[in-house]
Structure 1
Amino acid sequence: MKIIFRTYQFELQPTQEQKVLLDKHFGCIRYVYNYFLNERKEQYQANKKSDNYYKQAATLTELKKKEETAWLKEVNSQSLQFVLRCLDTAYVNFFRGNAKFPRFKSRKKKNSFTVPQFAKLEGGRFFAPKFKEGI
């Protein structure tokens, strides 16, 4: 049996409440990426080594428990972990010479996030974790 993985791209028509939740997702994704990219840069400048994905994922869990960053719990945790995986891949590609150094994410450029699991399409609506109703 052959497994086929597919990627879909949709134009969403969210309600006002869903727009707020989407904006929260975009902001949290950007914050986590920039936070851990900055952390990696500082670690590398200090001792020529930086944390890998697994150490950063553990740090993300601790970060979500802090009161000042408790708002990270409002978005899908798998999306936040996927951002760390992407950052790790970007770092590995840079040190192999396959890509440029990773840049910080900007609010003005393309906003996107990935839902690695539990996303489905039913009846013309897109269902993702943390979204109570389909978009």
Structure 2
Amino acid sequence: MGTCRAQRAYRFRFYPTPGQENLLRRTLGCVRLVYNKALALRSETWTREQRNVSYRDTGKALTGWKKSEGLAFLNDVSCVPLQQALRHLQTAYSSFFNHTGDFPAFKRKAHGGSAT
């Protein structure tokens, strides 16, 4: 017979300093903004042109957003969480088209975000 592996998760309370808390809030806000802008881009492109926007296209759009004057603050946070937001959106779309999830929804500010 096969062996059964137990998976275990550990949760820890995080007590950030005021500087860390500020950076974390800015990062989570930027992640939410990038996710929502990428979702809007994909939805609007499909509505206008009946064309899918790939993960690669959203990555190029992220680069453009970071270079634009109005969104230059995206350069103040790490690029890794921003790219991860695009990956999460791609996974949400894949789940929707595989009939294992709902259509991706815009993220609200009231949620507050989370980190893993």
Fold shared per TM-score above 0.5: yes
TM-score by structure 1 length? 0.74
**Counterpart for residue 5 of structure 2:** none
Consecutive unaligned residues in structure 2, runs of 5 or more: 1-7
Q: CA deviation at 1:110?
A: 4.7
Higher helix share: 2
TM-score by structure 2 length? 0.85
Structure of higher RCO (CA pairs closer than 8 Å, 6+ residues apart): 2
- Note closer, same or farther for the CA distance 1:25–1:8 as it changes in structure 2 (3 Å cut): farther
- Note closer, same or farther for the CA distance 1:15–1:102 as it changes in structure 2 (3 Å cut): same
State the aligned residue count: 109
How well do the aligned residues superpose, as a CA RMSD in angstroms? 1.7
Q: How high is the sequence identity, in percent, across the aligned residues?
A: 39
- Note closer, same or farther for the CA distance 1:33–1:8 as it changes in structure 2 (3 Å cut): farther
Measure, in 1, the Cα distance between the counterparts of 2:52 and 2:78. 26
Higher strand share: 1
Consecutive unaligned residues in structure 1, runs of 5 or more: 1-5, 115-135
Contact 1:34 1:105 in 2 (8 A): yes
Give matches, 1:82-101, under 5 Å: 82-101=84-103
